[in-house]
Amino acid sequence: MSKLNLTLKVWRQKNANDRGHVDTYDAKDIPLEASFLEMLDIVNERIINDGGNPINFDHDCREGICGMCSLTINGIPHSKEQGITTCQLHMRKFKDGETIWIEPFRAKAFPVVKDLITDRSAFDRIMAAGGYIDVRTGAAPDANSMPIEKKLADEAFDAAACIGCGACVAACKNASAMLFVSAKAAHLNKLPQGQAEKTKRTLAMVKQMDDEGFGNCTNQYECEAVCPKEISVDNIAKLNRDYFLATAKDTVA
**CB of 154 vs ligand FES, minimal distance in Å:** 23
Q: Which residue number, 88 or 208, has a Cβ lying nearer to ligand FES?
A: 88
Sequence-distant contacts of 188-192: CB under 8 A, at least 24 apart: 188/130, 188/156, 189/238, 189/242, 190/152, 190/155, 190/156, 190/159, 190/238, 191/148, 191/152, 191/153, 191/156, 192/146, 192/148
**CB of 133 vs ligand FES, minimal distance in Å:** 27
**C-alpha–C-alpha distance, residues 43 and 25, integer Å:** 8
**CB of 36 vs ligand FES, minimal distance in Å:** 10
**CB of 115 vs ligand FES, minimal distance in Å:** 16
Distances (CA, A) of 193 to 86, 221, 223, 245: 34, 30, 28, 18
Distances (CA, A) of 206 to 30, 141, 214: 44, 30, 10
**CB of 87 vs ligand FES, minimal distance in Å:** 3
Q: Which residue number, 58 or 242, has a Cβ lying nearer to ligand FES?
A: 58
Q: Which residue number, 162 or 233, has a Cβ lying nearer to ligand FES?
A: 162
φ and ψ at residue 25, rounded to 5 degrees: -130, 140
Task: Give the list of residues 6+ apart from residue 199 with CB closer than 8 angstroms, or none.
Answer: 245, 246, 249, 250
Q: Which residue number, 10 or 217, has a Cβ lying nearer to ligand FES?
A: 10
Interface ranges with ligand FES (CB under 6 A): 59-62, 64-69, 85-87
Q: Which residue number, 59 or 198, has a Cβ lying nearer to ligand FES?
A: 59
**CB of 58 vs ligand FES, minimal distance in Å:** 7
Proportion of the chain in helix, strand, coil states, percent, rounded to 5: 40, 15, 45
Q: Which residue number, 64 or 215, has a Cβ lying nearer to ligand FES?
A: 64
